[in-house]
Chain A
Amino acid sequence: MTQKLLPKKLKLNYSKNVFDIIQFGSSLYKENPKDIDIAVIYEKIPIKQQLEESQEIKKQLEKITRKPIHIKSFDLYSLLNISNFAREGILHDGKSLISNSAFTLKFGLQPKTYIYYSLKNLEKKEKIKFNYLLSGKGGSYGLLKKYGGKLLRPGLIEINPNNEEIFSNSIKKFKISFKIEKIFLEI
């Protein structure tokens, strides 16, 4: 998915004012997103300079992909400001294009998504099918192995944030109740 839009190892030129360059939004989990959202986080420098440097980064990314690039510039204060509607998406789901890993790992936090579900209204046959969906059957992989998730206990799985849509779409087919919680684990 993501890897098809932007290569894993990007060679971007940027100044020492750049704290991180983050991909966020639908391009992280959709097969064919309309565009790619990028947030550039700066050390404390004037906004004019932030915008000019972001334009240079945007130009480099436009040479790599044909998808439109939507670039936003922040410093750490404006990133965390309540008026930044993209804040949660950047913090929880954002992937650093510099380290090629979750952005918040920089702060010692591993983002994860918990999915709580209940099978109590399912018939036995359906419960078995659900188990196959998560853990696989015979030689075929289940969603957990395929996408790096973990069954923490019956009724609770832990997955990577970018796979939330895959898991929730599959679970929805069983018409069971489930709840999603975005969390950070200390590393």
Chain B
Amino acid sequence: MNKDNQYERNNETKEITKNVILEKSGIEYFQSGEDELKKERYNSALVLYFKSLISFTDLYILQKTGNSPSSHKKRFKITKNNFPEIYNLIDKDFPFYQDSYEQIMSKELVEVIKDDAETIAKKAKIKL
């Protein structure tokens, strides 16, 4: 195998691995969110649903571009420029994630974030 093929192969493996990790963590966060929601621990549920939403966002970006962002700043930039409907969702929900340590979150709000995580999961073709 020549060097170019080896390089492509490595990249492909890396992408598949990242795909698997993002899908697995997104589902795990989502299910943990479900558990916390049932227990009426709304702040924890909100954080977990938001993390799930971010994993699915990164997975979607990876599927579409071959790369995934390494920070919130890059994630916002990529989605704003390329996937505005996703940007709109994460930009809308991010402040609640940031405020979750100092604000009491309501069940209604948690359900909104859950709904958004499901929307992105669907876009990334993930079955929850």
Binding site for B on A (CB under 8 A): 46-48, 51-52, 54-55, 58, 70-72, 78, 81, 83-85
- B15 CB to closest chain A CB, in angstroms? 32
In the assembly, what is the distance between CA of A52 and CA of B115, in Å?
Answer: 13
Task: Name the interface residues of B83-108: CB closer than 8 Å to any CB of A.
Answer: 88, 91-93, 95, 102-104, 106, 108
Q: Which residues of B contact A70 (CB under 8 A)?
A: 95
Among B92, B102, B104, B115, point to the contact of A55 (Cβ < 8 A).
B92
Within 8 Å of chain A (Cβ to Cβ): is B112? yes
Q: Given known contacts A48-B115, A55-B88, A83-B103, is B108 in contact with A72 (CB within 8 Å)? A: no
- B21 CB to closest chain A CB, in angstroms? 29
Q: Which residues of B contact A71 (CB under 8 A)?
A: 95
Q: Are B103 and A51 in contact (CB under 8 A)?
A: no
Within 8 Å of chain A (Cβ to Cβ): is B20? no
Interchain Cβ contacts within 8 Å, total number = 26
In the assembly, what is the distance between CA of A52 and CA of B91, in Å?
Answer: 11
In the assembly, what is the distance between CA of A47 and CA of B103, in Å?
Answer: 16
In the assembly, what is the distance between CA of A81 and CA of B103, in Å?
Answer: 10
In the assembly, what is the distance between CA of A101 and CA of B93, in Å?
Answer: 29
Q: Are B102 and A51 in contact (CB under 8 A)?
A: no
- B119 CB to closest chain A CB, in angstroms? 12
Q: How many residues of chain B get a CB closer than 8 Å to chain A's CBs?
A: 13
- A143 CB to closest chain B CB, in angstroms? 35
- B102 CB to closest chain A CB, in angstroms? 6
Q: Which residues of A contact B92 (CB under 8 A)?
A: 51-52, 54-55
Dominant secondary structure at the B interface: helix
Could you list 11 further interchain pairs (A-B, Cβ under 8 angstroms) beyond the known A70-B95, A83-B104? Answer: A47-B106, A47-B109, A48-B112, A51-B92, A51-B112, A54-B92, A55-B88, A55-B91, A55-B92, A81-B104, A85-B103
- B114 CB to closest chain A CB, in angstroms? 11
Q: Which residues of A contact B88 (CB under 8 A)?
A: 55
Q: Which residues of B contact A46 (CB under 8 A)?
A: 108
- B16 CB to closest chain A CB, in angstroms? 35
Q: Are B95 and A72 in contact (CB under 8 A)?
A: yes
The residue among A51, A55, A70, A83 with the most chain B CB atoms within 10 A of its own CB is: A51
Interface CB pairs A-B, < 8 A, 16: A47-B108, A47-B112, A48-B115, A51-B92, A51-B93, A52-B92, A54-B92, A55-B91, A55-B92, A58-B91, A70-B95, A78-B106, A83-B103, A84-B103, A85-B102, A85-B103
Closest A-chain residue to B104, C-beta based?
A83
Closest 3 CB pairs of A and B: A83-B104, A48-B112, A47-B108
In the assembly, what is the distance between CA of A36 and CA of B108, in Å?
Answer: 26
Q: Which residues of A contact B112 (CB under 8 A)?
A: 47-48, 51
In the assembly, what is the distance between CA of A46 and CA of B91, in Å?
Answer: 19
In the assembly, what is the distance between CA of A46 and CA of B111, in Å?
Answer: 11
Q: Which residues of A contact B91 (CB under 8 A)?
A: 55, 58
